Amino acid sequence: MGSNDDKKSYKSPVYVHNPHLDKLKDDVLYHFNLGTATHDLPAIFGNVKFVCVGGSPWRMKSFIEYIAAELGLEDPKSEYPNICAGTDRYAMYKVGPVLSVSHGMGIPSISIMLHELIKLLHHAHCTDVTIFRIGTSGGIGLEPGTVVVTKQSVDATFLPKFEQVILGQTVVRSTDLDQGLTEELLQCSKELNQFETVIANTMCTMDFYEGQARLDGAFCSYSEKDKQDYLAKAYEAGVRNIEMESSVFAAMCKLSGLQAAVVCVTLLDRLKGDQLISSHEVLRSYQQRPQILVGDFIKKQLSAAGRT
């Protein structure tokens, strides 16, 4: 792998905003089972330029196999060890400049992972890192299988903000994403021409059932009409899909200087139902679409930088 120093006059680091970190003798990244005293983080991770994160550990392993093949970086044994094998909290895989990490489901789970990932990239002196969340979602008024690249991540009242509680006080953080990156991904999808991709707002909720107006949870106190009215309001606010991690992902990546995008496929149209009743084969093929799009983007970027 060459450096792309000559292509850019300025290298953008991964920022932490914590003066206390300098006072730590060692930093234990507990939920990764990694640490500065036990691992040579710059040697292992220093060349990372792209990070892909997603909920499911299986999907993140499948992504590293896919991107390795795409980039011609296959391991001759085709084995990609889980770098976090010492814990079952998250799974992590790496090939060349690409890191793939699982984050579980929901804002708190991805938030723990991102704190430790941002510290990892900082300790490893990584620069110019682009990060993608590749996930699944429920669509609103879209054909199932459509990929949504998030314009703005909005909350359950359709506002583009993430509320972080610090010492019992609520602090509001921006959920802005990189619009240039978003447009580049859309362009990439047009060139691929394999599936529909749109740029739209994504609603990020704290819950899969009541929080997303589903009628099929253990508890439901509203009617079908209430549900449809709520989803219609979301649609009017530009929301085309619903998931559970984008807001804190956008907020934390922005704070740390990571160029970030959210790329989620819609598994169903929530205007027509709540349950995932498509066959496993169909759902599996849908789930590959964000991988294919982001894989193609990474391949083009590395090719343009003369790095493959």
Task: Out of 20, 77, 190, 225, name the contact with a second copy by CB under 8 A.
Answer: 20
* 8 binds a second copy per the rule CB under 8 A: no
Torsion 27-28-31-33 (CA) sign: positive
Give the total of residues touching a second copy (CB under 8 A): 67
Q: Are 66 and 293 in contact (CB under 8 A)?
A: no
* 112 binds a second copy per the rule CB under 8 A: yes
Residues 22, 25, 28, CA angle at the centre, nearest 5°?
A: 95
* 43 binds a second copy per the rule CB under 8 A: no
Q: Which stretch binds a second copy (CB under 8 A): 18-26, 75-83, 145-153, 295-303?
A: 18-26
Residue window 50-79: x/- pattern of binding to a second copy, with contact defined by CB under 8 A: -----xxxx---------------------
Query: Considering the complex, what minimum distance in angstroms separates the CB of residue 299 from a second copy?
Result: 27
* 164 binds a second copy per the rule CB under 8 A: yes
Q: Show Cβ contacts of residue 22 under 8 Å, excluding neighbours closer than 6 positions.
A: none
Q: Are 11 and 131 in contact (CB under 8 A)?
A: no
Strand partners, 28: 35
In the region spanning residues 232 to 261, those forming contacts with a second copy, defined by CB under 8 A, are 233, 244, 252, 255-256
CA pair distance 276, 102, nearest whole angstrom: 22
* 172 binds a second copy per the rule CB under 8 A: no
CA pair distance 251, 247, nearest whole angstrom: 6
* 206 binds a second copy per the rule CB under 8 A: yes
Upper half-sphere CA count for residue 123 (Cβ side, 13 Å): 25
The maximal CA–CA distance of the chain, rounded, in angstroms, is 60
Residues that bind a second copy (CB under 8 A): 16-21, 24, 27-28, 30-31, 55-58, 88-89, 104-109, 111-112, 114-116, 118-119, 122, 156-158, 164-168, 205-211, 213, 215-222, 224, 226-227, 230, 233, 244, 252, 255-256, 275-277
